[in-house]
Structure formats: structure tokens, C-alpha cells
Amino acid sequence: MLSFVPFQAHLEVWLLIAFLTGAYTYAVKVVGPRAVPEGGRVVTGKQVAAFAGAMAMVWLASDWPVHDVAEEHLYWMHMLQHMVLQYFVPPLALIATPVWLMRLLVGKGRTYAVVSWLAKPVVAGTLFSLAVIVTHIPGVVNASVQSGPLHYTLHVMVVTTALLMWMPVCGPLPELRIGAGAQMIYLFMMSIIPTVPAGWLTFAEGSVYDQYEGTQIWGFSVTSDQQLAGAVMKIGGSIFLWIVVAYLFFGRFMKNWEEQNTFRRTRRIPDAEVTGHSDGPPLTYEQVKAAFATAPAAEEPGTQVP
């Protein structure tokens, strides 16, 4: 199946992944213990797993054979590249970044102010949407396929704007994140823009991008290649964001639904029945004794109130 795509070594991709892995390891092993207060945790297992996943995604999208097929033969594979770099890598990279590391990177001065402004939902969403539109302009696509520097510049733009777009949702700095309800609305709005070029590619007649005319392999025609590219954008972009929105909804508003609506008996006595009040600390023996001492004496059976 890969006989149409001879192996090509992409040293720049290997060097990039090696550099990022080395920098992350150095930050965690050397810088972290000095930056985190004594007894604090430098990095969690979840963050390390997220970093490994981000690096795997970058390697998959940027190395042979995906990169070569995307640039020389199939436009839908090119869209798969962008989907990975915009929707999968950025949130994993942000989740992998500890708070202390992000604060060291942006500081407290001008860099922090710039990042804070760019990460505003309106600004970040606009930049992300513009990047999606620019990377589908026929002239830009045709030129990027022929020019390596332009191609990697566009990929840097795609990843950078995607990082800013995801910052209000899962960024490491809590003051830059928005509430769960706002996140759902924000991500839904971000899912609308990709449907425009997706619909255009799906219903376009003839070749939209000259560089991909007649280069298809594996039995794809120009039309079927473009239609699948539109489907990848729709499924990989919009539906993925809708899945995230659904996850946020159930995590925020349906968190205790099963516990509150189950027919199964609980295996423990509710805290309110054990302590007398669930909002305060349990009563001590001395407090109970004092309460009984101040209570009026019980009346003898048979006595009447005058």
C-alpha cells in the first residue's frame, strides 16, 4: 500500500521532537524541584502521559508516510495533518504543562500581558478561525506544497493559533480559563468555521487545488479526494469539538445525576445522620453533655401542666 510513497527521512521532525522532549525532561528534572515549594509535586502522571501523547501526535502527523502522502498525493491526508495539529496536539500540550512551568515561560511582565490578551476567547477564536480560512485558500495551499519554508511556517501558525484557542478551555493558568458554561458556548462557536471550507470542498466540481490534480493514489479521484477532505474537516473538527462540549456538559451539570437518581441502596449511612449536620464538624462528647445539662428536665408521666 505504501509502494507509491518511498521512504524519506525527515530529520527536522526528529530533531524537533528530540529537542522538545529534552527540554521538557530538563524542566521537570532540574528546574521543577527549584521552582516548586518543598513538598510540592513537580509533575503528575497525567501530565507526563499528555506530553508523550502530544509528541506521538506530532511525529505521526509530520513524518513519513503521512507527511509525504499529504504533500504529494492526497489532500484529505493534508486535512488529517491539520486536524491533528489543531485539535489533538494543542490541548495535550497544554494539559502536559505544569502551572509553575507556564509561569516561568510567560513571566509577569510584557510577555504575560501579551499572552493574556491573545488568549482572550474573542481574540483567540478570531485568530484560530482566520488560520483555518487562510490554510484553505487555493493559492496558499499550492504555494506551500512547493515551498518547504512556507509549509512549516503555516504549520507553526496553525499550532500557535490552536494553542491560543484552547488556552481558555484547558490552559495551565487558571486565571485565563473561562467557566464551564462559557467553554461549551465557545467551543461550539469554534466548530462552525470549519464547516464552511468543508462544505465547499464537499460540493466543489473539478480540481480546487492545482498541485493535487492527477496526483491521487490508492484509487482516489480528484473529486473523491476533495470530498473526503471535507468529511475529515467536518468529522475531525466540528464533531470532535461537539464531543468535548458534551463531556463538559455531563461533567459540569450531570456530575451527581446517577447518585441522585439511582434505585440502588447506598452502602453507608449519610454523614448528616451520623454527625447531626453535614455542614459543620461532628459534635464532641463535651458539647453533647453540656447541651443536655442546659436542657429543661423532662416531666414525670401523669403530671399536668397547670
Range of the domain at 136: 11-255
The verdict on residue 124 lying in a domain is: yes
305 part of a folded domain: no
In a domain, 272, yes or no: no
Give a yes or no: residue 261 inside a domain: no
Is residue 188 in a domain? yes
Q: Which residues of the chain have pLDDT under 50?
A: 277-278, 305-306
pLDDT at 301 (0 to 100): 53
CB 226 within 8 A of CB 206: no
How far apart are the C-alpha atoms of 122 and 129, rounded to whole Å?
11
Radius of gyration of the chain (CA): 28
Q: Is residue 271 included in any domain, yes or no?
A: no
Domain count, the chain: 1
Question: Quick one: pLDDT at residue 140?
Answer: 85
The pLDDT tens digits for 35-72 are: 998 888 999 999 999 999 999 999 999 888 888 888 88
Q: Give the per-residue pLDDT at 262.
A: 58
CA 241/CA 179 separation, integer angstroms: 16
Q: Residues 76, 228: contact at Cβ < 8 Å?
A: yes
290 domain-assigned:
no
Is the model's pTM score more than 0.85?
no
Is 44 among the domain residues?
Answer: yes
CA 87 to CA 228: how far, in whole Å? 18
